[in-house]
Amino acid sequence: MPFAAWWSGRPPTAGTTTTFVLFDPLAQGRQRRWLGLEAVLLARPRVSSYRDAAERLRRAGLA
């Protein structure tokens, strides 16, 4: 995945790519901080609603 290389500090040397990435600012431990499109399609939600997500972000000082 081109994004994974870029995120690791290895930017592409040529060409362009389009990438869909979903970030999880509250990922902990073994949870992944970001997912590509293929993984997003298989992922289960970690929150039950937008309200729950907003409350978790607020408690973490991120909202």
- DSSP state letter for 40: H
Domain ranges for the chain, please list them: 2-59
pLDDT at res. 49: 92
Condensed to tens digits (0 to 9), the pLDDT of residues 7-31 reads: 889 887 788 888 888 888 888 888 8
**26-63: per-residue pLDDT in tens?**
888 888 888 888 888 888 888 899 999 999 999 999 98
The angle subtended at Cα 58 by Cα 53 and Cα 61, nearest 5°, is 130
Q: Token pair for residue 50?
A: 């937008």
